[in-house]
Amino acid sequence: MAVPDLVFVTGASRGLGLAIAEAVPFPARVVDVSRTGPPEDSGIDHLPADLSDPASWRKVAHGMQEITDDADPQRLILIHAAGTLSPMGFAGEVDLDAYTHNVLLNSAAGQVLGHAFLAVAAPRPGERVMVMISSGAASSVYPGWTAYGAGKAALDQWVRNAGEEQRRRGAVVVAAIAPGVIDTSMQEEIRSTPAEDFPDVDRFRRLHEEGDLIAPEVAARRFWEALEDGLTPGSVIDLRHR
């Protein structure tokens, strides 16, 4: 039996992306877009792609179009959760290839896939929503996270502009949501980074020691509550202030 809704989630192989994909609060076909794919028993479909490789972006665009045409959903959603902190370290001091990988995944991939999703979703009837996962790093200074912070800031500004464009067209609701500091493997990577490469590491170690990290399942529930309450087009929301 066909389900009425279709949800794409990039980076749903683990962490927050997986938690969001598993917590969809309505009957839907859920499709992960990632390199490794979700757990086999998750019930989540997989559109394989290395999103740090520009050659994969057109493949993902075609895949989203084909899957959407086949599903003919009443509600169509894209959540872009894929991202990386690696390499942590000061600009000019880390490996060039790793830095390029970071920039492509955190900044460029979201904009191109967002563009592709709008082309798929805008002509369709029904509810259409796209959400970029943002971060406090988009507006705060964290030495060692230069590429990551710049990537999140770029996506926030993309959302503000694309959200206004779509509002004028009466089409897709475009927004960004910062979920707070989540207890994922990314946090383990942060805590293991030398202070020389990430001077604020002690702050994140304290968050872990004091139990102040948010469980992915809790963050995912809050995320979907925000969507169900309705999103203002072009808005950038911090769930910590909601």
Enumerate domains of the chain plus CATH numbers: 5-180+216-241 (3.40.50.720)
Q: Terminal CA-to-CA distance of the chain, rounded, Å?
A: 37
What confidence tens digit (pLDDT) does each residue in 71-128 have? 999 999 999 999 999 999 999 999 999 999 999 999 999 999 999 999 999 999 999 9
Strand ranges of the sheet holding 173-178, from the earlier edge strand across to the other edge:
45-48, 28-34, 5-10, 75-80, 127-133, 173-178, 236-238
Total-model pTM: 0.94
Residue 195 φ then ψ, to 5°: -60, -25
User: Is residue 2 scored above 80 in pLDDT?
Assistant: no
Name the H helices within the chain: 15-22, 57-71, 96-103, 109-121, 146-169, 185-191, 201-209, 216-229
* Whole-Å CA distances, 142 to 126, 128, 192, 239: 40, 34, 16, 20
Q: How many CA atoms lie within 13 A of 41 on its CB side?
A: 0
Dihedral of the CA atoms 1, 14, 221, 218 (nearest 10)? 150
pLDDT above 90 covers a percentage of the chain that reads: 86
Of residues 7 and 209, more confidence is placed in 7
